[in-house]
Amino acid sequence: MNRQISGLTALLFVNCIDPGLLPNDSDQEAFPGGAEESGFEAADKADSALHPLERRLRNEQQLIDESISILTANMRRLHGGRGVMRHGLHAKSHGCIKGTLTVNPGRPARARHGLFANEGTYNVWTRFSSAQPKVIADAAPDARGLAIKVTGVSGRRLLNDGATTQDFILFTHPVGLGVDMRAIPDVLKTLANPAHAAILVLKHPEVVANTAVAFAAGALVANPLETRYWSAAPYKLGATAVKYFAKPCDWTVDGPVWPLSINIPNILAADYLRDAIREKLQGPGACFDFMVQFYANQRLTPIENHLKNWTTSVAPFHKVATINFPPQDFEKPAQQTFCENLSFNPWRGVEDHQPLGNLNRARKKVYEAVSDLRRTTNRAPKTEPNGHETF
């Protein structure tokens, strides 16, 4: 039994969530020289740690520290001194799945850097999640996450971690949580305590509209293996920058982001997303095209404004790899524990894939701090997988 979204509702909904119509998607000057520039360091103060396309917010470190303290306080509150401490956000895992990533022989020349420099196949671990900081029923509107850990990747590391993994972190929405880090502490406070939404509305109305769309869109996911994911934030790739995108191999890239007739079950069990993954992996398995959009210019594909969608008319998708998930049993308790103890971080990887923009700069320390707290509390190993683990 499936629930088809009714015609008018669906039309309104899909129009609302088409990334071409997302808030802040006008062709206004984004950076440099636009309204968003206020609050950023002047160009002549840019420090050498920044990529040439980046500029630093004047109070960036303070916003990072504030974000860490909101997140860790909430983790301690939810944990309450007992049981397993969950992830700071994306607390609920729908499954941790083993697969392979194969570099696409037909990738464009300008994408041939880092992991995509040479053809090859790598083992990956992926964690599918929902964004809320606590575990709730899947029927609740939420953004859904896809965290990919590619193993056995060589190259100069971004962190001094001695690892050979490359993380890619995406969710079911084309843009970030706020225009920039100035909105993030209020977003995190609202996720920890919905009563804070009143302040978020007053201070960052554009974020509220965006978040509502992101959560509603995630709610329309019938199966985490049958939906699309965006990195939302940009990354260096060779001489340019890209955003990442993953879609089921048999879906087209264009058209409405969420089709009108997705097969959402009529009765949404608390863990229906896990049930859907199980069904798919007991059957044929699943496949994703992993794609990039290339940076064009600061106006249409800005680096520091994370609510500006990179439209496909300006930045079309190019396939760089295929991710395959063969049929498998992913639910052995030891495998789930192993996966919950992993730490994903956009900075865990090689220099060719350096994260860009203020949200990504913040995520380096934020993800380090929260995963460190979680793994220390849970007395969990702080190691990276090699891709050959079996359970």
Nearest residue (CB) to ligand HEM, 87 versus 236: 87
CA distance 203 to 186: 8
- 52, amino acid identity: P
- Closest approach of ligand HEM to the CB of residue 282, in Å: 23
Other beta carbons less than 10 A from residue 313's beta carbon: 8
CB of 230 to ligand HEM, least distance (A): 7
Write down the least CB distance from residue 213 to ligand HEM, Å: 15
How far apart CA 71 and CA 46 sit, in angstroms, is 29
CB of 260 vs ligand HEM, minimal distance in Å: 25
Sign of the torsion formed by the C-alpha atoms of 99, 103, 108 and 109: positive
Extract long-range pairs of 54-61: CB within 8 Å, 24+ residues apart. Answer: 54/303, 54/304, 54/356, 54/357, 54/358, 54/361, 55/31, 55/304, 56/358, 56/361, 57/180, 57/181, 57/182, 57/358, 59/182, 60/181, 60/358, 60/361, 60/362
Q: Between 10 and 330, whose beta carbon lies closer to ligand HEM?
A: 330
**Dist. CA 282–CA 29, nearest whole Å:** 49
Residue 152 burial by Cβ neighbours in a 10 Å radius (0-12, 13-18, 19+): middle
SS (H, E, C) 44-63: HHCCCCCCCCCCCECCHHHH
> In the structure encoding, which two tokens stand for residue 279, read together?
């069904």
Residue with Cβ nearer ligand HEM (99 or 145): 145
**Residue numbers at the binding site for ligand HEM (CB under 6 A):** 67, 71, 87-90, 127, 129, 145, 147, 169-171, 176-177, 184, 231-233, 306, 343-344, 359, 362-363, 366-367, 370-371, 374
Rounded distance between C-alpha atoms, residue 172 and residue 170, angstroms: 7
Minimum gap (Å) between residue 119 Cβ and ligand HEM: 27
Nearer to ligand HEM, 30 or 362 (CB): 362
Taking alpha carbons only, the member of 227, 221, 194 closest to residue 208 is 194
Query: Measured from the CB atom, is 10 or 60 closer to ligand HEM?
Result: 60
User: For residues 172 and 17, what is the distance between their CA atoms, to the nearest angstrom?
Assistant: 11
**CB-nearer residue toward ligand HEM: 3 or 271:** 271
**Least distance from ligand HEM to the Cβ atom of residue 68, Å:** 8
The distance of closest approach from Cβ of residue 3 to ligand HEM in the complex, given in angstroms and rounded to an integer, is: 26
Tell me whether residue 10 or residue 75 sits nearer to ligand HEM (CB atom). 75
Contact 128, 186 (CB under 8 A): no
**Closer CB to ligand HEM, residue 151 or residue 231?**
231
Shortest distance, CB of residue 2 to ligand HEM, whole angstroms?
A: 27
Distance of alpha carbon 37 from alpha carbon 51, whole angstroms: 17
